[in-house]
Structure 1
Amino acid sequence: MTDLLKDTLTEHADRTQPSPLDLDAIITTGNRRLRRRRVVAIAGTAMVTLAVLITTLTLIKPATDQPAPVSVPFTERRATYAIGSEIHFGQDVISTAPHKLTAFVQTNSGFAFIATGERGLFVADGKQVRKIAAYPGDLTRLTAANHGNLVGWVEDFDGGSDSVIYDVATDREVLRTPVGNERGPLLDPVESPRIAAIDDRFAYLGTLKGTYRWDLKTGKHQLLLNTTTGNVLTAASGFSLRRGPEKAYLTGTTVVLVDDLNGFLAPRTFPGQAGYLSPTGEYLLTAPNDSRSITPPPAALRLFQTTTGKELSLTHPGHPFLIFSQWLTNDTFTAAGLRTTTPNSPVDLLTCSLKSLTCQTTTPAISTYTFTFGPAGTTTPFTLPTGTPIYRLFG
């Protein structure tokens, strides 16, 4: 082998040797890849942990959370009474705080009430208390139907009064009219204007000139009775219960049931001076005026079938006197049962069934039959959903 060939082969062999390793570059690259893997692993673990934590917090609520408010079904009628700022509606208690009740009625949207020492009208539905009428005068009486959202009252002004029908559900006045309540300089009314009854689409307006029957849908109205022929006490399902003129009212003992809607039923006369028609007009409870001038009157209520005039024997042992409260159904009503009429006598809330013709105690000793001073006169500590306090007419 010549020296030239040897040198040539040696040079080619040197060229095929691998290049030296860059250990620093390899270590740096490896560390970088390792850090990426660790970050991905940590991030994945964190996401799983966060998901578990969110699920746990969703399933386990803090102990301080309050349950969501439950809607009260005001379309139901339950054994109801009120004391102070609390309306006892069956097992539920509806607060009217800070307002104290003077009188209240039930609608399908809550209880409309007059507050003691305050002017205006309020509604309580278990979630809030709101003012629906800012009338500057003193309201003394509310009227509502057996069902629905209409409530009525009379606002007195200098020189007259307005009859008002209000829809609690929509917060709007359905009717406001001064008809029949214009005052003259010599007028000395025997009875103040009032909303006598609300029956479906009709309102019975007791005015200074008599009782008007007002169609709330069409606005048509008619004078049913003038002041010399009597007035309407209540109405239900097209029937109205009427009382005779004031002279007969003071000396008489009867009320008259009239079929206003169809005229199919001839007028019927029943004993009593106060009356309460069942929602369908099938039954009538009557009571005489209280000799102690208490209204609504405590009485031994008498029960009649309106179509036949037949009297049914209703018993309420242990409670000689009842103060009617409201109809729960067409054949069930509630009343305050007086054990005696002596001062501080316990009062029980009763539920009376026309099927069994008996009354049972629903809530014992809700209050006492004690009269305390209030803005509407001398009233009892408890109130029933009749739209008026239980009070003495005279001192």
Structure 2
Amino acid sequence: MTESHRVRIFDTTLRDGEQAAGINLNKEEKLRIALQLAKMNVDIIEAGFPAASPGDFEAVKLIAGTVKGPVIAGLARTRKEDIRAAAEAVRCAEKGRIHTFIATSPIHMEFKLKMTPEQVLEEVRQAVTYARSLVEDVEFSAEDGSRSDPAFLAEVFRAAADCGASTLNIPDTVGYAVPEEFGAFVQAVIEATDRPGVTWSVHCHNDLGMAVANSLAAVRAGARQVECTVNGLGERAGNASLEEVVMGLRTRRDSYGCETSLDTTKLWGVSSMVSRMTGFPVPPNKAVVGSNAFAHEAGIHQHGVLCNRATYEIMNPEDVGAPGSRLVLGKHSGKHAFRQRVEEMGFSLSEEKITEAMALFKTLCDRKEIVTSEDLEAMINSEILAAAESRRIVLKTFLVQVGRGHGTATV
């Protein structure tokens, strides 16, 4: 894999991911997640926003001094005190980075910053110059970049690059972009900035559900760093999902011509860990790491998977560390999957008995939301095998008595 075809994964689970309402990780939890991200070969870990609180500063400092391998980044506004805090927090890192940002869209400059474009431009020059005097690796982000004027954005990026920023990030901060438009926008900004040698990055939010699609469109347009989070955590509707970006590039390498350095077999485990520690469950239908991502219930699908998994699975579950494919028995299941499950449970039934058992199973599915293996075993024993031996048992009455001492049940 050549550098021109490698996409760096910038994980911001510990910074933007933690900004999701309802998530609050302590520094020990952040360290545990960071260590797993490092084992997965993530390129950059944004460990937090050091100036935000003493706890965040300590967490970034702990991660920077402990985690080896990835670049450890601290976020900072263009204020000098923020940049100093970030520099001090990542000082002990094997590879430290200051990630500084300021908004560049008309609405943010006028109403939030209350600054003119000229003032913003000067702020960028001063901030990046100062950050570069403290660390060798500086990234600059133009907040709300996707709603910024392209000509002004290119001017801002030229100033940042000329002052020492080696990574330039184009965020879709409010998830407003759409893939075709965003890809063209990224390409136009890269060409207008005209600074060979810098790494172009994107940071997409999921307000319209297009964060991953926008990120991949940007890769096609020339971006070689994608900022994302495990399970797509983050502000409001979240960020681009790390696992979806990585597996999108891997599975459709023929389309994007790029790949990452991640060990994808750790995706499932890291996703589960982050879910447990944040208290945010992974939806069953979540792409790549959801519990249903490799589960099949429809009979046509189950038959296809039994013949060849590639008929309905475009990824191998083993490639993402998932337990494996699952054929889920339900009212949509077909005879092939039903027979396989019955045989796996140790029953040997004739074709006639399989048909009879399946009819009873479908009836049970209409009455019960989840039919377990225990239900299926009881049904076969009582309704199929016992009936065949003319020893059918019927429950007529039962009485349960509970008092002092042992309870009793009369059947």
Q: TM-score, normalised by structure 1?
A: 0.29
Larger Rg over CA atoms: 1
Which of the two has greater helix per residue?
A: 2
Q: TM-score, normalised by structure 2?
A: 0.28
Which of the two has greater strand per residue?
A: 1
